[in-house]
Each structure stands twice: as C-alpha cells, then as structure tokens.
Structure 1
C-alpha cells in the first residue's frame, strides 16, 4: 500500500516540477550546510589532534616526580611536545634506547635534547630551537632533504661543524631559497656552523629548527642532558599499547615500578579535550543557526502543500466519495511531503559530501565521511516532512465531501 502512495506522490511532484524544485532548494541548502558544519568540526578536531601529538606514530616519554599527578604529567608533556623545550634532566640513560628498541611493536627510539637559542645568519638574529641530531634523526622524524645533504652523510670528523635547518626557518626568518642557504654560516653561542642541508617539516610540532651533531651539542652544553625519550611504533601496531609497554620497560630497568616518580607517557588528552570541546560548541552553535534555515524551508514546504490541497480539492472530494478514508488522504499528503524533503536531504548530503571531499584533498587529509551524519540528515529530512506535512494532510482529510466535489 505504501508503494502506491509513493507512486502517487512522485506523479504529483512531477506534475508540478517548478514548484517542487523551488521547494527543494531550501531543504537542499539547509541540509548541505548542516552536514558541512559538523564535518568541518571533525576535520578541525583531527587537525588539532595531529598538530598537538604529531602524525608519525611516535610518543614521548618524560620523567616526572609524581606519575599520579595528571597536571604535572600534562605540563611535562606539553613542554616536551611543543618543540622539546622542557627542563634538562639527568634522568635518562642513552643505553636504554637499545632496550626500548627491543620492546615488541617498537620500531625505533631516540633521545631528544633541545635548547632555544639566539642564533645569527648574515647579521639576521632570531631565536630558534637547537636540537641534537643523532644517527637516526632523519629516519625517525621522516625528514626529507630539500637541498644539500644530511649531517650523517658527512665523515664523522666533519660533522661537528655542520648544521641542518628546516624549510620553516627559511620561511620565517631568512629571505633565501634552500639552495642559497647551503654553505651559509650560522652562529650559535659564539660558535660558527656551516649549513649543510635543508629539510622539509613533516611534523609541525618540530617548528623552526637547527639540528647539530650530538658531539657538537655536548660541547656547547653539558654532556648527557636530555629532555625526553621518544619511541616510534611500527605500522599496524597499537600506538597506546606499544608505548605503554615501552614506558613499563623503562620503569622496570630503573626500579620505578612501585614509586611515584618515574617515567610516564605524554598525556595531552586533557588539553586536546578542552580544545575539541570548544570547537564542538562552536560547531553546535553554527549547526543550530543553520538548522533555522531548515525550519524556514520546512515552512515553505508546508505552504506548498497547503496550496496543493487547495488545487486538488475536487480530486480529494472524489476520492472520499468513492470510499477513501480520512487516514488514507492524510497518509498520501504526508508521504508526498516526506518524499519532497527526503529528496532534498539526499541532494543536500550529496553536495555536502562533495564539498568535504574537495576540502580534504586541498588540506591533504585522510578522513572518512561520518555515516552517522548522513543518517541524521536523512532522518531529519523525513521528520521535517512529517512535521510540516501534517497540517496540510489534516486539512485535506477534513474537507467536506460535497463542498470539495462542487469546487472548481
């Protein structure tokens, strides 16, 4: 029976193509805008999380005095994560890197030491993160050389006077191309280094950077100073489980199993939740505003349906006269209204998905379309059809049969 109502509704909509099209526009725009807003919120949350935690499958391990104090762990995590500007600590044994690499699921491990210094290139002075560059520095962070060569490509005796910079440093501070930067002298703590290579910046958390050989770093600063260790998890392995095994192994080696102090994984979940909560509220407010346009469109559908009732008064009277019940008339008009809003919802979702796909391509991001948003949009569209089709359907069902038949 429902299929008969659908067939009649399609026939009626096709008989009034222009009116149906004009009714669809508001629904299409409203659904598309709401879908896009909530999808943008997801994109923003993923972008923020990646910006904070990095995207190369690595997790930092910090030393804290109280692993049960979430605020302390958060502060240390933020210090290490945002450029590694944490306090220098003599609590890491570099021999532990080999032990960490033996943990199941761990691909690599690295010790990070960073100092923010005022450096100078051709009389241009600026503050930048000076990082130590061990043998696995390039592979761990997945750097790619844009110009020149990596420090590790030079003989050991030459590395002590070489420096590696990233493209962000050139963009932010130096008006020169990567090729022009090669061979330039950079002064760090009154010591001159020669720029041997320029890298890209695959992990935005690294910021602007100058990397020097670990021996040169130890000569400029006290030997053995490390802010944190970082472990990289193999592809296909669970990041959380594997990194937890690594930190447990480290605490086991140094006897911190039953103590408050010890090694702890970076924990930026609270910070991320606060940021994403703000973006969620903003998207909700924008979604509510966009939903108002859907309500306006729904009122437009109701007006069109009321006009349709007036135009089809005689038809309704004839149907009632030959035995059609009031409920049958109501269902027919509600189905017609729902079909109209559902078509608008489908087109709106299609447009929304297209816009989001284009945005993801432009942003070079991989993010699946949230199926729940699609379902919500379609269910909401049908609900609009029911709500705004009920009044016209009720009016049609309550028409006086004799008066309806006699109408022109």
Structure 2
C-alpha cells in the first residue's frame, strides 16, 4: 500500500530534496505542478524550468521558485532570457533550444521530470528523460500515441519510472498501485476509461452534420484549448487515451473499455477477475494527479478539496455512440494495427481539426480524413523516433492535400 507517513523535512537546499524539472512550466499543467511543489518546499524543489517562447512568464516563475536552470525552446530568445534573469538579480543559468532542454532533462540537476510540453515538440525531451532513468511525470499525449512502443522500451531499459498525469491514467495507476505490477499476476480483467461525452453527448450522427467550431469548443464542464476541446467533442481524446493506456499498463486494446460519465468525478476503473472493480474518484483538478506523481508512494497535500458525494448527487454512465463518434473506433483500429498507425491517426487528426477550426471542413469530415489516412498510408515499424516522425510528416502532407481537394475547402 502507498506510504502515508509524514514527509521528511529538509532545508530547501538540502542535497536529498527531490529536484524537479518542469518542462512546459508556463502552461496550465506546469503552473499546477509548481503550485504543488511550493507546498512542499522543504522536501522538493523546482531545479529546472523550461518554456516555449514566453520569456517574461518564465522569468517570473524563476523569481518565485529560484531554479538553477531556465530554458526557452526558441533559440532566438536566449539573450532576452539571459538578460532578464540577470536584471532580476537571479543566479539562474539561461539556456535555449531543444537540445539544451533535452540535456537538462537527462542531466544531473533533476531526478524527476514533469513532461508537460504540448505536441510533438515534447517528444525529444521526454525520451531524453526516460533514457536517463528519471521519474517521468507524463502529461504529453504524443509521447505515447506517437512513440509509445519506443518510449516504454527505453524507459524499461534505463529503469525510468513513468507516472501518468492525465486524470484517467492516474486513476488506473492508483487502482493498480503501480505500473510495475504485473497486470496478469494482479488478476486484471479490464481497464475502463471514463469520458465526459463532450458538448454533443446524446446527438445522432445526422445532428452533427452542421455543428460549428464555436459549438465544438464549448465544453459543458470546463474551458480547454480549441484543439483538445474538438478532440473531446469527437471523442478522439478518449481514443488517444486508450492507446496511452495500452502502453502505460501493457494491456491489449480489447481489454480497454470506455464509459461516458458526464459528471466527470469517477476518473477511471479497474475490473479484476474476482468480480471486484476499483474506481478512483475526485474533483477534476490536475493538482491531485501531480501530487500523486510527485509524492508517490506517499500521499501528499495537493491543495484540492475532498469530494462531497452528497453535494454532487447521482453518478451516471452510458456506452459511447461509435456511429456518431467514430474517432474512438478508429483509435482502437490503429492500436490493433500497431507500428506507425497510431502516429498516422494522431497526425491526420491534428491536421483535420485545424482545418475544421478554420472553417475549411465540416465536423464529420474529421473522422473521414483520419480513416482515409489510415487506409492510404502503409504501416511501418515504430522502432525509431526518426521513422515515426517520417510517418507523421507524410501523413500531414497527404491529409493536407486531401483537404485541399474537398469541394468546400
């Protein structure tokens, strides 16, 4: 069982304090991670902060957390970062570029890496951390969807510990106690991911023909970025999570199910062969899952309140409609095909969603384009990052061409 004993207290600069690199520090996950870290200053500290292009926000975080290193992904912003840190009288060392971030993620100045860089841009640093044997708090979907076989193989070889930060996968992690536990030995029958259902839950395929981007990004429960909001509306986000769960927990797609749960309080479930089902419940706040990853196997304060079931009332569940929302079916199909198929699924979806948000294609064209890409492109091995990125690039090219040929594009 998880260790719930009190946390050891150290001076903030103690050598045995947990040293954490937060990649994507200025984003919502990064700032939530830093909020949890700040609640345990004597036991953990942010030693490395990295961001994409927001220099001023990164400098402000450095003033608050005093890391040894700060990195900006855009090499052109090195001088503004260096000078800004100096002007703020900070001893934090400035770095710039993807290679610098990879080196920091793999280097001796951190033992834990929060991988919260969005998109394929976060792949390289995530792999670098895994190859260096770090504890990897994984919030980057592409790392597992695009390169799941490669990442998990490299992590296993280096003894890296991957702890998922998405609420659904964290829930399964908690129910299983640890991803290192043998699923077969643990008697697991199936994993069940929950989905909110998005803004179009209950609508038929015909009802979705004319939906607009504004309607698709209007999630009924929370505000998210436009791309992830559309993925929630098509249920592609849940399809990507099925692929992630397969890699994280070494469970075949046939034993991973999805239930629509509009209250979003039950984050996922694990069913065992003896008939028991364990579920993880809680308020939808990323600080809970980050606290799990940062403190594991201890339970630590996250700043999130407990769940009042009486106040929330009933919990409802229903099966997903795969006719109205075929993206979920396509994700299972890509997972079964293996190799580069998940990378193709992800790339085609990104291009199609972008075109939909620009008003160039209709909502139902998103799954149609993804299905065309899966049929058109040959499945290749997923044994190197270069091969996967080549498949990704090729898919983006043919999907972009397919959109340009549509009569209403």
Task: Give your verdict on TM over 0.5.
Answer: no
Structure 2 length-normalised TM: 0.23
TM-score, structure 1 as length reference:
0.23
More helix by share: 1
Of structures 1 and 2, the one scoring higher in RCO (CA 8 A, sep 6+) is 1
